[in-house]
Amino acid sequence: MPSRLILQCGMTKVMNDVFKTLHLSLLSVTILPLLSQVEPSCEFGDEERASLTTRIQNAGTEVVEAKAGGGSATLSMAYAGARFAFALLQAMNGAKNVVECSYVESDVTDLQFFSTPLRLGPNGVEENLGMGTLIDFEQEAL
């Protein structure tokens, strides 16, 4: 869905996987899309970045509005949970370099818990990969 949002916002750049650069939450203002870290990399102007960030933050609301009150965005949360569970099972069964985002106790911000990419292994979380280098726009939003 995030890749589709980027394309719907008039972007001509194609993204392979934006999920790993979205630090997600249930509360829209706490969603921080790290668009500076998408792969393959692409450049956004200030207005494009601000508009796209707001659109990503409000994607859940758009789903509810599109369903005209007849549902919610819980399917997206279920997908995220299943994706994490499958990744964890792969890592616990010996797959190497399995990385998935999750909301965990962390010291990457002043908050006790934060969603960041994690390297998973046979014992669960092997390493918190942090957020990487943030651009000014992302740092201010954080």
Considering the chain, what percentage of its residues have pLDDT values greater than 70?
Answer: 78
47: CB partners within 8 A, 6+ apart: none
* Chain segment 28-61, per-residue pLDDT in tens: 667 888 888 887 788 889 999 999 888 888 887 8
pLDDT confidence band for 26 (50 / 70 / 90): low
Per-residue pLDDT at 110 exceeds 80: yes
The structure's pTM equals: 0.70
pLDDT for residue 46:
92
Strand segments, DSSP code E, in 3-140 are 22-23, 32-33, 98-105, 113-121, 124-128
Task: Quote the CA–CA distance of 34 and 69 in Å, as a whole number.
Answer: 30
64-93 per-position pLDDT tens digit: 788 887 777 677 778 888 999 999 999 999
Task: Tell me: pLDDT of 4 over 50.
Answer: no
Query: Could you identify the residue written with the tokens 């818990």?
Result: 113
